[in-house]
Structures are given as C-alpha cells and as structure tokens.
Structure 1
Amino acid sequence: MNDTHQIVNKEDIEEEFKTLQDAICIALEEADGKGKFREDRWERSGGGGGRTRVIENGTVIEKGGVNFSAVYGKTPERILKALELEEADFFATGVSIVLHPISPMVPIIHMNVRYFEMDNGKYWFGGGIDLTPHYVDKEDARYFHLALKDVCDRYDASFYSRFKNWADDYFYIKHRKETRGVGGIFFDHLSENTQLTKEQVFSFVQEVGKSFAPIYTHFMKKNHSMAYGEQERYWQLLRRGRYAEFNLVWDKGTKFGLDTDGRTESILMSLPPEVKWVYDFVPEKHSKEQQTLGLLKKGIDWVGE
C-alpha cells in the first residue's frame, strides 16, 4: 500500500484523472494498431465540462470511449433526494470507459473511477471495473479477478471480497435474472469510513485506474485472432442487447449524468454500435451459448475456479 501523507484536493484529483485518461488512450491505440481516438471537448452550462474521446473501426475495437469530466455547481434536487444529501453545491470528476470489440471472442469491458465532493465538506470516491465476455472463459475470468484482487489486497484484505460481491449485485440485470458478465469490483462512498486516509483511498482509486490498460490489452492481444463465424457474431449482437438494457434501465452512472445535465452523447457513448433483439431466444442445449448463460450468476468464486 502506498503510504502518503500529502493532502489531496479536488484540483489534484482532476489532474490525475486527466493523466489517467491520456495514459489509457495511448495504451489502447498501441494495442489496437489502427484505431485512433478523436476528442470532443464540451462545457456544461451549469459549470464544468469534459473531454470525450471515442475510438471506432479499429483492428480490435469496433467502438469505445475513454471519457473524462469535471463538473460542478448547484446540486440538482433529484440527486439530493436520491442520495439523501443536504443542500450544497457539488463537484464531481472522473474517468469512464466502455469498449466494444469487433470479435465476439474479445470481451466488452467497463471501468469508472470518480470523486464527488460537496461544499459542506462531504466527499467520497467510487469506481470499479467489470468484464462482459460474450462467451465466458473460466481462465480469462480468473486472470481478470486475480489482477483486481492483487490491487485490492495491497490496500485492505477485505476489499476484494466486499467489492466483488458489490459488483455481482450492481451489475445484475434484474429483469433477466442474470449478471451482465463475470463481474469484477465495484465500490462507492469510500471516504474516511474505511481504515484508510483520504490520500490512501485516492491512491487505491488510482491503482484501480492504472490496472485497466494492462488487463484489457492482455485480452486484446490474446483473443482477437481467435476464429469465429456467423453463429458467434449473432450471439455477440444478442449479448450486446443485454448490455444496452442494463445501461439504460439500471445503471446509476447513466442516470446521474442525465440528471446533472451532462453531455448526452458522452453519457450514451457506452451503448454498442450494433445490437440484436430476438423474441424469446433460447440457445440450443449443451451449446457454448447455453454454457455461458449458466455462468451469468452471482457468487461464483472465479479466483478459486
């Protein structure tokens, strides 16, 4: 665990998140070999703005975004009520990522790291990473979870199990009764309610962010050359539909962005470029598609698999 006594403020955190965005974009472009990010800078009428970076039609990545934002101002009434907060101005900054690959053998990935502060002194960090394979591979899931556990264990031995269970609950498509993928870690409202100082919590959040590029470029390099056909592509489009359902129906980040008058194009960047919905689709018995559905459930010990 990095033991630091340096006091961090919102300006420090904002700059670190900008640096993280830059580093991840460089790593993804290098791993893809073709796709390049284009940047849109935007301003929020109520205060603040961000840098939306989108990559499309690469060698590996079909569509993805690595977004940074720092917004502030009067806290909307809906946010105060939803979070049970006293009236005060807010500041929120973070990096949010979703990548949709071309190949159904490469997983979708999402990451978010964020910081929220109110001018009455209340603050917290949140974030997490989760993996959504179109076809669940147990060894890939184990690799992913071991990498996250390593980050968590450097700060608190309880973090991984707590945040893994939190991710299982959060990334759950309730109306389908299935998880979005193989989970990962998810945490919110981290402040001095842990055994860590604010500086140590920020260090943990930074390390989660820095783990993203090595983890995902590993899957890009390992899986993108695997063979697939029309059946796998068809299944990929169906699974993308599930991803869209979660983001539009259940994701709190989507709701927060829209409720705070964030940039709509940036918020909905997470949606896949092409999807398919088929009425009452049932995969064939004993097929790899059915096997994947059987692994989309809470409570799987991926590290022990």
Structure 2
Amino acid sequence: MNKEYIADRYKQIQDEICRALEQLDGKASFVEELWARDGGGGGRTRVIQNGDVIEKGGVNFSAVHGVLPEAIKRAFQVDDENFFATGVSIVLHPSNPFVPIIHMNIRYFELNDQIRWFGGGIDLTPHYVEKDEAVYFHRQLKGVCDRFDLSFYPEFKAFADRYFYIKHRGETRGVGGVFYDRLTPEKTALSWEGIFDFSYALGNAFVPTYAELVNRNRHRDFSEANKQWQYLRRGRYVEFNLVYDAGTKFGLETNGRIESILMSLPPHAGWAYDFKPESGSAEAETLLWLRQGVDWLAQ
C-alpha cells in the first residue's frame, strides 16, 4: 500500500459521499472545481449550496506535495524537506437550526518510509444539543472504533474533547466525536493496511450517521430567534477554525488553495455582544452540555 493507492481510495470515498449527500438533500448538487497547487499537487473542491437541507457544504479531496515550510518543520520537529499529504475534508452547514453542523476529515501524511502517519475524525456541532442525538452519534462512532481496537473510542473521544475546545470561550465546539493524529502501527495493534481500513470505515460511517440526524430534524419548524441562535453558534465555529484548527493552519502555511481551506466557514454567522440566553431556555440548556469529558454513552 503506497501513497498513490491511499489517494485513489480517498478520491473514491469523496465520490461516494457526494452522491449520497445529493440524494439526502434532494434538491442541490455539488459543483466541482479542480485546482493545482503552486509547488506540487492539487485537488478537487466540491461545494453544495442552497439545498433543501444543506445551506452550504463542501467535500474536498486533496493530494499535495513539495517542500515543507520551515514553520511546519518546526511544528512537526522534523528535518526532511519534502512532504506528501492527501485526504478528504467535509463540513456541512444545514439551513434548519435543529439539524447539526458536522465535520469529518481523514488524511495521510508522509515525509519518508520512516516518518508517516494517518489522522482524522468526525465531530458534531449541534446548534441545539439534543441528548438522545448526541448519544446516538457517539454510539455509531464507538461501533466503528470497536471493530478495529477497543481502546480507540475512549482514546479518540478524549482527544476530540481536548482538541475541539474553544479556549477563549471556555466551551467545546459541540458534542465532540472521535479525533486521532499521527496514528502508526507502533502506536496500535494494526498494520498500515489496518489503519487505512479504519480510516476508510470511518469515512463510510459518515453519511448513514448524519442522514439519521438530518431526517429526524429536517422538517422541524423554527423561529427567527432560533435562526439568530444558529448564527451565534456558527460564529463560535468560525472562531475555532480560524484560531485553533490545525488543518486550516497547515493549508495556509503550505500555500494551499484559500477557497478550499476556508470552505469550512458558514455562509452567515453572528456575534452579538455579551449575549446571555434566558435561564431555563433551550439555548441555556445547550451551553450546559458544551464541556469536556461528557460521557455520552452513560446518558
């Protein structure tokens, strides 16, 4: 299994997810833009907008290579000059405030035969946290993880809790999920092929898991107040992605395509000054769940 094989399979999963999301939305279709990176490689950006469910979403594939910038070399603590990176990145912003935002990323990075790894994960960002839906989401992810290693879910769930945390707000971005980085055979009981299979299985779980949450909520009525709250929660999403997200930083520092990198941002967001929800409201209840360490499987 080499990097070309991994990239080809990731392109395949991009195709499969795009077809399934078009069917789920029922109205909008993806528009594709092929792009080349100055320095090596390129990708396929696919964006869907103004659908029946999805207000804006992207399913991006990239396979890039070239000289590693000094800042990235220092961050990775490596001396190698050349790199290869490929992956699929997804963010979906729904129009209905009761349908959650979802993100997935599966990726592979290589400097040489000795320094290479897989990373990725899926996390959910509801505008309104519904306990039963968060439990469902985490059970689906645990099911995928347990097929490969029983230690994966608790380890990767804890990593997601730490990673998807907006430090300056003191709250998590959403209800978490699973997140892993620099996964190698030395850190698991799996071979390189096994780690790739786990990565691919996580990708295959994306659409059926999200479709269940979409179909539970897509026809729910909502008010203007619900939309304004949705914009505030989207604002938190923007803050995390621009301040903390490692993928955004890597893309910017390796001269990636700006439109593809910032595809994750919503079409509309809000920042009301010092907003405090009414005590006992659904908005206030949501804020109570946005903390690290919630054991969703025990709820």
TM-score of the superposed pair, with normalisation by structure 1:
0.97
The structural deviation recorded for 1:78 is: 0.9
* Match runs of 1:20-59 below 5 Å: 20-59=13-52
Looking at structure 1, the residues matched to 269 and 116 of structure 2 have their Cα atoms a distance apart, in angstroms, of 38
Aligned to 1:294: 288
Aligned to 1:172: 165
Aligned to 1:4: none
Looking at structure 2, the residues matched to 230 and 130 of structure 1 have their Cα atoms a distance apart, in angstroms, of 26
Q: Give the counterpart letter for 1:172 in structure 2.
A: Y
* Match runs of 1:72-221 below 5 Å: 72-119=65-112, 121-193=114-186, 194-221=188-215
Equivalent pair of 1:144/1:215 in contact (CA under 8 Å):
yes
Equivalent pair of 1:88/1:120 in contact (CA under 8 Å):
no
Q: Give the counterpart letter for 1:268 in structure 2.
A: L
Equivalent pair of 2:80/2:111 in contact (CA under 8 Å):
no
Where in structure 2 are there 5+ consecutive unaligned residues?
Answer: none
Looking at structure 1, the residues matched to 214 and 280 of structure 2 have their Cα atoms a distance apart, in angstroms, of 28
The structural deviation recorded for 1:39 is: 0.3
Aligned to 1:234: 228
Partner residue of 1:250 out of 224, 244, 249: 244
The structural deviation recorded for 1:121 is: 3.1
1:6-62 Cα shifts (integer Å, max 9, x gaps): xx1101100000000000000000010001000000000100000000000000000
Equivalent pair of 1:88/1:119 in contact (CA under 8 Å):
no
Partner SS, residue 282 of structure 1: coil
Looking at structure 1, the residues matched to 213 and 18 of structure 2 have their Cα atoms a distance apart, in angstroms, of 16
Looking at structure 2, the residues matched to 209 and 76 of structure 1 have their Cα atoms a distance apart, in angstroms, of 29
Moved more, 80-89 or 104-113: 80-89
Query: Which consecutive aligned stretches of 4+ in structure 1 deviate over 3 angstroms post-superposition?
Result: none
Partner SS, residue 268 of structure 2: coil
Aligned-residue CA RMSD in angstroms? 0.7
Moved more, 226-235 or 39-48: 226-235
The structural deviation recorded for 1:87 is: 2.0
1:236-280 Cα shifts (integer Å, max 9, x gaps): 000000000000001010000001111000000100000111111
1:60 equivalent to 2:53? Answer yes
Q: Give the counterpart letter for 2:256 in structure 1.
A: G
Looking at structure 1, the residues matched to 210 and 173 of structure 2 have their Cα atoms a distance apart, in angstroms, of 17
Looking at structure 1, the residues matched to 80 and 197 of structure 2 have their Cα atoms a distance apart, in angstroms, of 29
Partner SS, residue 113 of structure 1: strand
Q: Give the counterpart letter for 1:279 in structure 2.
A: Y
TM-score of the superposed pair, with normalisation by structure 2:
0.99
Alignment size in residue pairs = 298
Looking at structure 2, the residues matched to 120 and 75 of structure 1 have their Cα atoms a distance apart, in angstroms, of 16
